[in-house]
Chains A and B, each alone.
Chain A
Amino acid sequence: DSGVTQTPKHLITATGQRVTLRCSPRSGDLSVYWYQQSLDQGLQFLIQYYNGEERAKGNILERFSAQQFPDLHSELNLSSLELGDSALYFCASSVGETGGGIQYFGAGTRLSVL
Chain B
Amino acid sequence: GIQVEQSPPDLILQEGANSTLRCNFSDSVNNLQWFHQNPWGQLINLFYIPSGTKQNGRLSATTVATERYSLLYISSSQTTDSGVYFCAVSNSGYALNFGKGTSLLVTP
Contact = CB atoms under 8 A, between A and B. Distances in A.
Nearest to B35: A105
Nearest to A44: B98
B33 interface: yes
Interface stretch (A15-23, A62-70, A77-85, A93-101): A93-101
B31 interface: yes
A25 B35 CA distance: 18
Majority SS at the chain A contact face: strand
B95 A56 contact: yes
A102 B32 CA distance: 9
A108 B41 contact: yes
A30 to B, nearest CB: 12
Interface string B16-39: 000000000000001101010000
Given A44-B98, A104-B45, A107-B42, A99 B92 contact: yes
Interface of A: 2, 31, 33, 35, 42-45, 48, 55-56, 58, 88, 90, 92, 97-105, 107-108, 110
